[in-house]
Structure 1
């Protein structure tokens, strides 16, 4: 297990599984570092952060980093790194007025850094594309950008797990299910215009 991606909706069991993985590594004598990306903007978020801290042993190291995920991963000298979470990290980048391309570039760099670690990394993220279509332009942009971020991390993770009701489904590359070979030397017909 080098890079594990845990993706799911709210209260799907992602964080609980990540903490369980951390406890198992800790029990085996492996150092655990928790990289927290959450900004504390209000009382509710402060309560959530405090609850998450209470779930972790005091011996675990914590790095609080809202933006520089590559730098945070570089600080973890050994052991398991848990990143919680890409959902808030992506939001943090958007609030700093980064373009979609800049966010995708930073995400690719962070995913590459995580997958290059010799020791294991567990990354948590939310699937936000299954719910109601967002009413605002910003909401739609966030849904789309996080979807791209999640796809990039899932591409390099092994395993990538979808959490639903505390249970996990392994995610696999859909191209392995295609039974029709795609000829690379045949030109495809023009697609009809959508204008």
Structure 2
């Protein structure tokens, strides 16, 4: 797992890390959605930075459902990078907006648990990329607080299951967990 702030260099580090985890094909799972010009440009730059031999799955919400059939068979990847969990959680929240925190939490937690089960049960190496929200201000809006709470919980769950966790600050990765 690779955590960091916005524009911290976490994606670049995760991409270099995933390349060392498998000699086989790499699948890049992108969760971003081009909702405006700025996001369209971010997606364009991310696509441009990836090696052309990597396969890409662009999926904003149903990660486990769309990823599962791609992990078996002759064309299965040797490693998978999922970039990013924070955008994925935001997509789920926007798709399932509600004033009631509990249905949102249930939807996001269920999707996250399905994804983690898939990851644990598969032979591929995985690298998750996510923003670290524990260092930021508490949002003033309820949806922002729901996002921060849910992403914090999901990051903790992924980090607990991960063999390595890195925090990237200003392009500098620091290993904060290792199961060596």
Bin of the TM-score, shorter chain as denominator length: 0.7 to 0.9
Q: Does 1:34 align with 2:28?
A: yes
CA displacement, residues 154-194 of structure 1 (integer Å, 9 cap, x when unaligned): 11111111222222333349xxxxxxxxxxxxxxxxxxxxx
CA displacement, residues 48-80 of structure 1 (integer Å, 9 cap, x when unaligned): 001001111221111111111112332132311
More deviation, 106-115/118-127: 106-115
The question of whether the paired residues in 2 share the 8 Å contact of 1:115 and 1:157 is answered with no
Q: Secondary structure at the match of 2:133?
A: coil
* Residue aligning to 2:126: 121
Normalised by the size of structure 1, how large is the TM-score? 0.79
Structure 1 residue ranges without an equivalent (≥5): 174-195
The question of whether the paired residues in 1 share the 8 Å contact of 2:13 and 2:173 is answered with no
The question of whether the paired residues in 1 share the 8 Å contact of 2:23 and 2:78 is answered with no
* Residue aligning to 2:100: none
Structure 2 residue ranges without an equivalent (≥5): 97-102
Normalised by the size of structure 2, how large is the TM-score? 0.85
* Residue aligning to 2:99: none
Larger Rg: 1
The question of whether the paired residues in 2 share the 8 Å contact of 1:8 and 1:125 is answered with yes
Q: Secondary structure at the match of 2:134?
A: coil
Of the three residues 6, 9, 15, the one matched with 1:13 is 9
More helix by share: 2
Query: How many residue pairs are counted as aligned between the two chains?
Result: 167
